[in-house]
Amino acid sequence: MASATPAEFDLWLGDPHRRPLVMGILNVTPDSFSDGGKFSDAGAAIAHGQSMIESGAAVLDVGGESTRPGSEPVQADEQIRRVVPVIRALAGRSLISIDTGNARVAEAALDAGANIINDIYGGLLDPKLLPLAAQARVPVILMHMQGRPATMQVDPRYSDVMAEVTAFLKGRVDAAVNSGIDRHRVLVDPGIGFGKTSEHNLTLLGRLKELKSLGQPLLVGTSRKGFIARITGESIESGRPFGSAATVAWCIANGADMVRVHDVGAMSQVVRVVEAIQRSGAPDFRGL
C-alpha cells in the first residue's frame, strides 16, 4: 500500500484482516533525538521522504516539533513554516500524517495535503484538534503519554502500566467518537518511551496483544529508542538497527497494524518476513 489513496487507506482501517504497514519518520526539526538537523532543510526532507516512499513507507509522518525527553514546545507558526513546504512537495506521492497536537498546525498541514493527524497528546493538548479531524473526515492517531515531553521521563510511575494505558486510550477513543470521528478512523498508540521507564516499555510490549481488546487499529513506535540501548548497548549513532528490528518483529507478531520507523527499507523487510510466517498455513510467495 505504499502508494495508496486516502480512500484505500480508509478501507484498510475498516478491514479486520488488514496487512501491517510501515510509517516512515520525517522529522523536519533541528533537535529530534535521533536525526535532529539532518532533514531540517526542506530540500533534504523532501528527498528523504521520497527515498522512504521508494523503500516501502505507506505513510510519512511529518513533524516540525521535537518531542524527545526534555524538549520544549515549538510555536505553531514555526511548526507550520517547517512542515508545510515538505508536505506540499510530497502530497500525492504517499499518505502523509502530521505529527502535532496543535489544531492550527494540523489544519495547515491538511490544507497542504496531509491525510492523517498523529497526536502524541491524545487530543488533550488542543480542544480544537478532535473536532477538526471530525470535520475534515481524516483518521487520527491518539497516543498515551504520562506528563509532557519536557518532564515525562522524570520518575514516571504506574500501578499497572498496561491497565492504565489501556484505560486512557479507551477514554480517548470515546472522546474522538463523541467529537464526530468515525470509530474505525481512530488509531491508538501505547506511547513507548513517552513517560515510561525501560521496564514499563518492556511490559507494554510483552502484553501488546491486550491492546487489541480496544478494537482499534494499533500503531507502535519503538525505533531507536533508549530502552533498546539499555539492553543491547547500541549507541544512538549506530541507529540501533538490530534492537529496533527485534522490536518491530515482535510488534507485528503481537498485533501491531502499523510500525513507526526510521529505517524504512530494512524494517519493511522485517515486516514482510514476519507477515509471511504468520500466513504460512497457506503460503503464496509469488506476490512477495
| Active site positions, annotated | 225, 260
Q: Write phi, then psi, for 182 (nearest 5 degrees).
A: -60, 135
CA distance 46 to 50: 6
DSSP label at residue 91: B
Of the candidates 56, 60, 61, the one whose C-alpha atom is nearest the C-alpha of residue 2 is 56
Residue type, 284: D
3-state secondary structure of 140: strand
Q: Quick one: how far is CA 30 from the chain centroid?
A: 19
CA distance 81 to 142: 24
Of the candidates 58, 118, 87, the one whose C-alpha atom is nearest the C-alpha of residue 257 is 58
N residues, the chain: 288
Number of helical (H) and strand (E) elements in the chain, helices listed first: 10, 8
DSSP-assigned states of every residue in 143-177: E--SS-TTTTTSS---SSHHHHHHHHHHHHHHHHH
CA distance 225 to 230: 9
Element (H, E) at 205: helix 198-206
Q: At what angle do helices 241-253 and 198-206 cross, to 10 degrees?
A: 40
